A and B are shown apart, each in its own frame.
Chain A
Amino acid sequence: MDDWAVRAEGLEKRYGEKRALDGFDLAVRPGTVHGLLGPNGAGKTTAVRVLATLRRLDGGRAEVAGVDVARDPRRVRALIGLTGQYAAVDEILTGRQNLEMFGRLFHLGGRGARARAAELLERFGLTEAADKGVEGYSGGMRRRLDLAASMILAPRVLFLDEPTTGLDPRGRGEVWDAVRDLVASGTTVLLTTQYLEEADKLASRVTVIDRGRAIADDTPEALKDRVGGDRIEVVAADPADLAHVARAVARVCSGEPRVVEEARRVHAPVADRVTALTEVARTLQDEGVQVEDIGLRRPSLDDVFLRLTGHATEEEKEAVAV
């Protein structure tokens, strides 16, 4: 087991009737970013909370940095860092006061805590704002401070639970840069996310979780290949034209076109995106078919899900229901 930064086998966690984790397996290689991808309610956060010793296991076993989380939670806590969905920092204190407080609580002593705080403020680009109250920080700055607080002991394993949820693109970029820096310095990161794009950008390997179980474990490229790459999507103005549209799409696509009658939509995987789009547009125009919308779509988490599980994500179902 020493070869894994995180290793989980058959994790189970129940909340009343609900099985939040239902035989969840995970293996994370040291020094990598490992993505844990899934929609809301799939069990991502529960998995992280169990591995970070915040929740007790109901079954299975897990080791973090070689230490059993159920048997020796206190030792695990000295080896990990955790950044949750909310920036868990003290809003009233300044950035520096936050890091010094956490440093003292990590038992670095007064002088050690002060030195470490200064170091981390510098590293996360917060030196200028160090002595301002956290209330005045932007979302990205708060999250970076939160990351810095998780890094005080230079943890072997860092858990990042949806670190960019609710951030604007700039804040997201700041957090991504910080994560890349951490990994470069040897930390292993387990990153949960709802965004395939984020997993794609940061993670070298991704575990897809659904209903408390790991349903796929692969590189981001391989996952996208399984979904079949880009898709063309056409929405007909008149339902009577759907057959026409499907025929036009079939001529250029690399797989079977799918027709969604109630949405008047035809979609299909394509190999050569631009040619496919122009071809279909021209054909439909020549045939005089009215089109409401036409475009290319990159595979989304919803597509990955549909392909891997055969059912849509909860959000997708809701969207269809509306």
Chain B
Amino acid sequence: MTSTLQPVAGRGRLYWALADCGNIVRRQLTHYRRKPVYIAWQLGFPILSVLLYGYVFGGAMKPPGGGGAADYRDFLMPGMFVMTMAFGFINTATAVVTDANKGVIDRFRSMPMAPSAVVTGRGATDVIIACAELTILAATAFVMGWRSDGGFLGTVAAFGLLLLLRYCLTWVGIWLGLLVPDPEAAGGLFAVAFPLTMISSVFVQPGTMPDWLGAVAAWNPISSTAAATRELFGNPGAGGGSWVEQHAVLMAVVWPVVITAVFLPLAVRRFQRLSR
């Protein structure tokens, strides 16, 4: 019996921080293998949104720079990618609060593993899931006629910015997951997330909104990612002459860095406060 109880020896702290992170990722991904319905739901929602916004609203929308429903869909697709990334923080928060309430986080904390793995594992899983979501979404968009004219580098850079947005929102999700009382409350974050994605350039040009609202929409971080990816994909953009709209690619990097700089320490502090 003791033969199996020999912890692997002679490895440094960094090795275990990475190995523990990998094991947490493995755990989360096993969830999807055991419950394929979760994937179906998580991927089904964006696909459904693309179809609904593309075909239900698409015909009524005036694409920027003129054109028909097909041109609006070219404008819309990068916005849908952004919306899916943006809503991802709700999944993060739900997963974190579920683990916290079930005592799983306490069990991890009572074990001699790297404490950082609980959060880094979450972040890594979110990015992996986001890759799967983007693959499926892009395939759906492709079938609907959307194309990237940005070349290989532009396309890769655009997806990179989308993942960067998803990654920085993981910290928001972890912070909120440790703040809200239960998974139901985490689900209720949709009520906040939905208007926040609407007041942006995801669906329409901020220029068509009342001035003050348009300004808010233009400065919304997810507008920057939407504008930057449209630019990199070579899709029709939302236009707008303000500084933030003119420097979309820069801001699509700056915003996530700022959000990470604010919410990573908040999330870590919240996590450490569990010891108080």
Chain A residues proximal to chain B, CB less than 8 Å? 52-56, 74-75, 77-78, 80, 82, 84-94, 97, 101-102, 104-109, 112, 115-116, 119, 133, 149, 153-154
Contact (Cβ within 8 A) A90 B104: yes
Q: Note all chain B residues with C-beta closer than 8 A to A55.
A: 275-276
Contact (Cβ within 8 A) A154 B34: no
Contact (Cβ within 8 A) A116 B5: yes
Contact (Cβ within 8 A) B113 A108: no
Q: How far is the CA of A86 from the CA of B19 in the complex (A)?
A: 27
Q: Note all chain A residues with C-beta closer than 8 A to B19.
A: 104, 107
Q: Note all chain B residues with C-beta closer than 8 A to A87.
A: 103
Q: How far is the CA of A312 from the CA of B108 in the complex (A)?
A: 37
Chain A residue at smallest Cβ distance from B115: A74
Q: Note all chain B residues with C-beta closer than 8 A to A78.
A: 7, 112
Contact (Cβ within 8 A) B23 A105: yes
Q: How far is the CA of A216 from the CA of B117 in the complex (A)?
A: 41
Q: Note all chain B residues with C-beta closer than 8 A to A94.
A: 34
Q: Which of A56, A106, A115 contacts B111 (CB 8 A)?
A: A106
Contact (Cβ within 8 A) A104 B23: yes
Knowing A55-B276, A97-B30 touch, does A108 contact B8 (C-beta < 8 A)?
A: yes
Q: Note all chain B residues with C-beta closer than 8 A to A92.
A: 30-31, 34-35
Contact (Cβ within 8 A) B27 A154: no
Contact (Cβ within 8 A) A54 B110: yes
Knowing A93-B34, A116-B4 touch, does A107 contact B112 (C-beta < 8 A)?
A: yes
Chain B residues proximal to chain A, CB less than 8 Å? 1-2, 4-8, 16, 19-20, 23-24, 26-27, 30-31, 34-35, 101-104, 106-113, 117, 274-276
From residue B203, how far is it (CB to closest CB) to chain A in Å? 35
Q: Which of B110, B117, B275 contacts A77 (CB 8 A)?
A: B110
Contact (Cβ within 8 A) A105 B113: yes
The list of the 5 closest CB pairs from A to B, nearest first, reads: A88-B103, A78-B112, A88-B107, A115-B4, A77-B112
Contact (Cβ within 8 A) B4 A119: yes
Contact (Cβ within 8 A) A86 B102: yes
Contact (Cβ within 8 A) B111 A77: yes
Chain A residue at smallest Cβ distance from B32: A92
- What are 21 A-B interface contacts by the 8 Å CB criterion? A52-B110, A53-B109, A54-B110, A54-B274, A55-B276, A82-B110, A88-B103, A88-B104, A89-B102, A91-B102, A93-B27, A101-B30, A102-B107, A104-B19, A105-B23, A106-B113, A107-B16, A107-B112, A112-B6, A112-B8, A153-B7
From residue A189, how far is it (CB to closest CB) to chain B in Å? 15
Q: How far is the CA of A226 from the CA of B19 in the complex (A)?
A: 54
From residue B147, how far is it (CB to closest CB) to chain A in Å? 38
Chain A residue at smallest Cβ distance from B272: A56
Chain A residue at smallest Cβ distance from B38: A92
Contact (Cβ within 8 A) A107 B276: no
Residue with the greatest number of chain A CB neighbours at <10 A, chosen from B24, B27, B104:
B27
Contact (Cβ within 8 A) A54 B275: yes
Q: How far is the CA of A153 from the CA of B112 in the complex (A)?
A: 10
Contact (Cβ within 8 A) A93 B8: no
Q: How far is the CA of A116 from the CA of B5 in the complex (A)?
A: 7
Q: How far is the CA of A54 from the CA of B271 in the complex (A)?
A: 11
Chain A residue at smallest Cβ distance from B34: A92
Chain B residue at smallest Cβ distance from A77: B112
Contact (Cβ within 8 A) B104 A89: yes
Q: Note all chain A residues with C-beta closer than 8 A to B5.
A: 108, 112, 116, 153-154
Q: Note all chain A residues with C-beta closer than 8 A to B275.
A: 54-56
From residue B261, how far is it (CB to closest CB) to chain A in Å? 27
Q: Which of B4, B7, B103 contacts A84 (CB 8 A)?
A: B103
Q: How far is the CA of A97 from the CA of B108 in the complex (A)?
A: 15
Knowing A55-B275, A74-B112, A119-B4 touch, does A105 contact B20 (C-beta < 8 A)?
A: yes
Q: How far is the CA of A232 from the CA of B102 in the complex (A)?
A: 43
Chain B residue at smallest Cβ distance from A133: B34
Chain A residue at smallest Cβ distance from B11: A107
Q: Note all chain A residues with C-beta closer than 8 A to B274.
A: 54
Q: Which of B4, B102, B111, B113 contacts A112 (CB 8 A)?
A: B4
Q: Note all chain A residues with C-beta closer than 8 A to B101.
A: 86
Q: How far is the CA of A240 from the CA of B243 in the complex (A)?
A: 90
Contact (Cβ within 8 A) B8 A102: no
Question: Given contacts A56-B275, A92-B30, could you give 19 more A-B pairs where the C-beta distance is less than 8 Å?
Answer: A53-B109, A54-B106, A54-B109, A54-B110, A55-B275, A74-B112, A82-B107, A84-B107, A87-B103, A88-B102, A89-B102, A92-B31, A101-B23, A105-B20, A105-B108, A105-B111, A107-B113, A108-B7, A112-B6
Q: How far is the CA of A87 from the CA of B24 in the complex (A)?
A: 19
